[in-house]
Structure 1
C-alpha cells in the first residue's frame, strides 16, 4: 500500500512556502500596527480599534488631527476654485452630450496638443491622456467622482487645442465648462495632480483674459511643487516616500517634467511681468528631463531637446532679472564694470542662440523648423531689449545702447509681422506684451536720437513706418480681446507725449489712430517710458500710474481685470 506520508522534498517545499508567506505577512502586520497607532494618536476614541469588527462602520469625532502636509498653501483651494465657478447644471451622459467632441476627435486633439505643447510645458504624456480619454468616454465617464482628474485633463487639453478657432464654437465652450467644473476637485490636495492642474490653469491664463493672472497661478504651482520636493535630486525626492523603491522611472520622469514646466512658467512671468521669481535657482538640483519619444512634431529633433533648450533660456531670464533689474542692484560701480556685466550676459544669450538643436548641421530647413526658429529669434531680440534698456544697473544708458535697442526692437516687430502673416502665432498675453514693449522701445529710441547731441539723426519717415507697424500689430489683438485695446490707448498716449516734447513740428507724428488722452502732459519721455513698461526699468513704478492716462478712456471693469490678468495689481485707480 502506498504511504500517505509526505516526502522530504514536499516538506521542504512547504517550509519554503511558509517562510515566503511569513516574509510577506510580517511587513503587512507591522504596517497595520503603525497605521493603527497613527489613528489612535489622532483619534483617542479609537484606542480600542483592535476590538472593533472588521467592516463595522465607525463614527469619528468632527475634530480633525494635525496633517503634516496641509491640503493647500495660502488657501489655494478656495482662492482658485472661487475664481473658476462651476456650472450649475450636471453634464449629461457622454453618448447624449450635444457639444462633446467624438472619441476619435478627442484622440486627434490630444495628439495635436502633445505635438506642440510638449516642447515647452510637458506635464502629460500620450499614454496618460489616452487612458484618460478612454475613461471619460466610457459609461458614467462624465459623472464618476473618481474620474475628476481625468475629466479635467481631457477637457483642458481639448479646450487649449481648440480655443484658437471660432469664439462662439459651442464645443470649445463645452470643453472649457467641463474642465472648470473639476477645478476644486483637482487642486484639493497637495500632490502631483494639483501641480499638474495648476500648470494647465497657467496655460488658461496665458491664452484668455480674466481670472487669476499667470504670476499668481505659477507662484501657487511653484510653492506646491517645492512642498513636494519636486525640485530636488532623485535620492532626496524619494525620501518622502515610505518605500523609495516604489518610485519607478516613469513616475520620476513625470515629476521632473511637471517641475520644469512650473519653472518655465515661473521664469516667464518673472521676465515678462517684471515680478520676483517663486523658485530660486540655488534651491534646484533636479536633473533636466531625460530624452522622451517624439510625438510627431514634424521636427527632426526630439521634443526633449527643444524643451531643454527653452529651459536654458528661462534660466537666463532669472539671472538677468536678478543681476540687472533687482531692487537691491546699485549703480555705484564704474560704468565700464557695469557695461561689462551686460556684455557677459550678451555672450551667454549668443551662446544659447547658437546652441539651438535646430541649428545642427543635420537639421534640414522646412516650414516646421522655420516656424519653431522664429520663436527663438523673437526670444533673442527680447533678451537684447532687456539687456540694454534703462535698468537698476544702468539707469542712464550710453548712446551705443540706443542703437542696440533700436535694432532689437525693429527686428522684433519685423519678426512678429512675419509671424502674423503666416498665421503661426497664438493670441496670447505674452506676445501682446512683447509687441507692446518693443513698440514703446522704438519711441524711446527715436526720442533719444533727437535729443542726444552728436548722435545719428533719425528718419521721420522710418519712424512713422515703424509706428504704423506697431499699431497694426497691437490692433490684431483688439478684435479677439477688447481688453487689449488699453494697450493701443497707452501707445497712443505715448506718441502724444513724444509730439508734445518735440520742438519742431516736422518731428511730430500725425494720424494717431487711437483717441489720445485729453489730460496728456508735457512730461519728458524718460519717466513715461519707465511707467509704460510697468516698472521694467527698475524705478519701482507700476503699469497704470502714469498721470497722463485719461480715466475716461478706461472701462470701469475690464482694464482692471486685464491688468490683474497680467499680474499688475495693488494700484489706486484714482491716480490715473
Structure 2
C-alpha cells in the first residue's frame, strides 16, 4: 500500500507545503482547524536551519549571509527552499487521507455542476473555456451555421454533425454570460456591410410595402424595432449605400419574416434568411441592445418557420443578455439617460417578456425571469416621431398587451405551481379577483381606428385566452366548479371564432402557437360537453348552455383547422386524428343523453362507454399535447 501511493503522497506533500505556508489560505481556515494544525506543527516542525546545521543536527543562529557554524567550518551557508523543506518533511497519514478525500469531493462537484472532468487535467490548465476570450462569438456559429460548431476546446459536437439548417443546441449560456458579459469589453463599432451581399426585391417600393406589412402586424405586438429607423436604412440599402452590419442583418431577417407571413413563397423567405446569416456574427459581436434585437428577430422568424433554431433556446439566450445589460432594472434616480436609447431598451425587454410568457405557458414550462425581479417601467406611448400620445398611437397597443401579460403571468404562477393546494373558498376568491382585473383591462383598452383589428379583435382574443388559462383545470384547481366550467366553454368558443374569422379572411398564421391554442380550445369544448352529460345523468341541470349551435360549429371548425394545419405542417395529422376520436366519443354520448343542444341529436338506446384514453386526455392530462408539439417543432 505504501509503495503504491508514494507518488501521490509526494504530490500531496507539495500541495500541503503550499497550504501551510500560504497566509491567504491559512486565514480562511476555521479556528478549530487552526488549533489542530498548531498542535501538529509543534510535534512535526519543519526545519528552517541551514543545510550544514541541519545535517549535523545542531542549532543554527541564522546569521546572514553565513551562520556562525558555517563560518567556523569554512563552508557555504545554504538554506533549502520552502518546497524542498516540505517535500523532505514527514506528513501525518490521516491528513493526507483528508486532503485526498477533499480533492475527490471538489472534483465531483465540478463534474456535477459543469460536466467537466478535471481529474486527469494538469493543475493550472485552462478549464471550461477559461483561456478562451471569445466564447460569446461562437453563438452565431451555433445559431446560423450549417457546419458542426467547434467547442472552445477544439472538439466538435457529433450530435449536430450533418443536421440540416440550424444547430439544435446552444452552448452553456449561463457560463458565457457569467464569465464574459459580467466583464464586458467595450462595444466596438460594427463595420459597414458590403453592398454586393445584400439581397433586394425588385424595387424599393415593393420592399417598403413588405416591411410595412411586418410593422403593421408583428410590429404592434413586439415593437423592439423602430419603423422610422428601419425605413431610413431600407432606403439607403436600395440606394446602394453602405449601412452597419447590424442594420443589414435586421433588413434581411425582417424581410424573411414578412415574406413568410405574407405569402406562400417559402423559397424567397429562405433566401432572405440565409442572407441574414452572413451578417449575424457581426450583429452579435457586442453584448448590447442591437445584439438583443437580433436575437428577438431570430425568435420571431423561427416561430413562423418550420426550420430554424429552437425558439425556447433563443429566448433563453436573449433573456440572459437582457438581464446582463440591466434592462429589467429601473434606472437610478438622477441617472442621465438618452430618451431614444432608454425607450428602445424598454421596448426590447417587454417584447422579450411577452414572448417568454406566451411560450412558457403554451408549452407548460417555467418562465425565464420572475416578475419580482423586474423593476423597470413599461415603455411610454411615443409615436414614430417620438411625440407622446397616450392611448392614441401605435405603441398604445403593445403597452396594453404587456399590461395583460403581467396579469397573465400572475395567473400562471398562481394556478400552475406545486405549492400546497388552498381551500376551494380561497381558489374561488382568487378567480374572482383575477376576473375583476381582466374585465378592467378589457374595458380600459384603447380603441385605435388606424389599427382597428389589433385594438378590438386581438384584444378580445387575448382576453379570452387569459380567461381560459384561469378557468381550466390546473394543479391548484383540478376540479373546477360550475362557474369555471361555464367560463371554460364560453372562452373556448370565442377563441375558436377568432381563429375561424382569421381563417375565413386568409389571415390565420399557421404556426405552432396557433395550433396549441386551437387544440386546447377544442378539447375544452369537449370537456365542457362531457361535464353537461355527467350532470344530466346524475339528475342535475346542465352546467353550460351555449347559444344556438355554437358547440357543433366550434367542434367542426376545430376539425377543419386541424386538417388544414396537417397540409402545411408536419406532425399535425396525429393531433387531428386524436381530436376526431375524442369528439366522436363525446358527441356519441351526447346523442344518447337527455337534450343538451337540440332534439335532433336524441336517440334511444344505452349510453356507450367513453374510451378510457379519452378520459385520461380530457380530465387528467389536460395539456398532454404540449410535449407532442414541442417534439414536432423542436421547441
Over residues 243-296 of structure 1, what are the superposed CA-to-partner deviations in whole Å (9 max), with x where a residue is unaligned? x75x52222222111111111111111222222111211111112112221589
Offset of residue 169 of structure 1: 5.9
Aligned to 1:104: 205
Q: 2:476 and 2:524 mapped to 1: Cα distance?
A: 18
Q: Is the 8 A contact 1:233 1:287 kept in 2?
A: yes
Matched, 1:426 2:509: yes
Aligned to 1:209: 306
Give the secondary structure class of the aligned counterpart of 2:377: coil
Aligned to 1:407: 490
Matched, 1:398 2:481: yes
Within 5 Å, which residues of 2 pair with 1:41-440? Answer: 72=136, 76-82=139-145, 85=165, 100-137=201-238, 139=240, 141=242, 147-168=244-265, 170-235=267-332, 247-294=337-384, 301-326=392-417, 328-331=418-421, 333-358=422-447, 368-370=451-453, 372-440=455-523
Alpha-carbon spacing, 1:67–1:506, altered in 2? closer, same or farther (3 Å): farther
Over residues 318-354 of structure 1, what are the superposed CA-to-partner deviations in whole Å (9 max), with x where a residue is unaligned? 101100111x2322x3211111111111111111111
Deviates more, 1:421-430 or 1:247-256: 421-430
Aligned to 2:82: none
Aligned to 1:455: 541
Q: 2:592 and 2:127 mapped to 1: Cα distance?
A: 76
Q: Is the 8 A contact 2:533 2:593 kept in 1?
A: no
Q: 1:262 and 1:478 mapped to 2: Cα distance?
A: 29
Q: 1:63 and 1:503 mapped to 2: Cα distance?
A: 68
Q: 1:338 and 1:103 mapped to 2: Cα distance?
A: 57
Alpha-carbon spacing, 1:465–1:187, altered in 2? closer, same or farther (3 Å): same
Offset of residue 377 of structure 1: 1.0
Q: 1:309 and 1:560 mapped to 2: Cα distance?
A: 29
Over residues 24-82 of structure 1, what are the superposed CA-to-partner deviations in whole Å (9 max), with x where a residue is unaligned? xxxxxxxxxxxxxxxxxxxxxxxxxxxxxxxxxxxxxx999979997549x74454234
Within 5 Å, which residues of 2 pair with 1:504-515? Answer: 504=592
Q: Is the 8 A contact 1:136 1:147 kept in 2?
A: no
Q: Is the 8 A contact 1:69 1:190 kept in 2?
A: no
Q: 1:117 and 1:495 mapped to 2: Cα distance?
A: 34
Q: Is the 8 A contact 1:385 1:408 kept in 2?
A: yes
Q: Is the 8 A contact 1:71 1:190 kept in 2?
A: no
Alpha-carbon spacing, 1:155–1:163, altered in 2? closer, same or farther (3 Å): same
Alpha-carbon spacing, 1:492–1:484, altered in 2? closer, same or farther (3 Å): same
Q: Is the 8 A contact 2:516 2:626 kept in 1?
A: no
Q: 2:619 and 2:139 mapped to 1: Cα distance?
A: 33
Q: 1:101 and 1:316 mapped to 2: Cα distance?
A: 45
Size of the aligned set, in residue pairs, is: 449
Q: Is the 8 A contact 2:518 2:558 kept in 1?
A: yes
Q: Is the 8 A contact 1:270 1:276 kept in 2?
A: yes
Alpha-carbon spacing, 1:521–1:184, altered in 2? closer, same or farther (3 Å): farther
Over residues 481-519 of structure 1, what are the superposed CA-to-partner deviations in whole Å (9 max), with x where a residue is unaligned? 24433431231243355479789499999xxxxxxxxxx
Q: Is the 8 A contact 2:397 2:455 kept in 1?
A: no
Aligned to 2:12: none
Offset of residue 307 of structure 1: 1.2
Alpha-carbon spacing, 1:179–1:303, altered in 2? closer, same or farther (3 Å): same
Q: Is the 8 A contact 1:270 1:321 kept in 2?
A: no
Alpha-carbon spacing, 1:495–1:252, altered in 2? closer, same or farther (3 Å): same
Offset of residue 534 of structure 1: 2.9
Aligned to 2:561: 473
Q: TM-score, normalised by structure 1?
A: 0.68
**Unmatched segments (≥5 aa) in structure 1:** 1-61, 87-91, 239-243, 510-519, 536-540, 545-558, 566-576
Q: 1:285 and 1:316 mapped to 2: Cα distance?
A: 16
Q: Is the 8 A contact 1:93 1:139 kept in 2?
A: no
Q: 1:77 and 1:531 mapped to 2: Cα distance?
A: 42
Q: Is the 8 A contact 1:447 1:525 kept in 2?
A: no
Q: 2:610 and 2:237 mapped to 1: Cα distance?
A: 59
Give the secondary structure class of the aligned counterpart of 1:277: coil
Q: Is the 8 A contact 1:101 1:171 kept in 2?
A: no
Alpha-carbon spacing, 1:68–1:336, altered in 2? closer, same or farther (3 Å): farther
Give the secondary structure class of the aligned counterpart of 1:479: helix
Higher Cα Rg, which structure: 2
Offset of residue 471 of structure 1: 0.9
Q: 2:558 and 2:500 mapped to 1: Cα distance?
A: 9
Q: 1:214 and 1:64 mapped to 2: Cα distance?
A: 26
**Unmatched segments (≥5 aa) in structure 2:** 1-125, 147-163, 167-192, 598-608
Q: TM-score, normalised by structure 2?
A: 0.62
Within 5 Å, which residues of 2 pair with 1:502-541? Answer: 504=592, 522-523=611-612, 525-529=614-618, 533-534=622-623
Q: 2:227 and 2:549 mapped to 1: Cα distance?
A: 52
Deviates more, 1:338-347 or 1:205-214: 205-214
Q: Is the 8 A contact 1:149 1:185 kept in 2?
A: yes
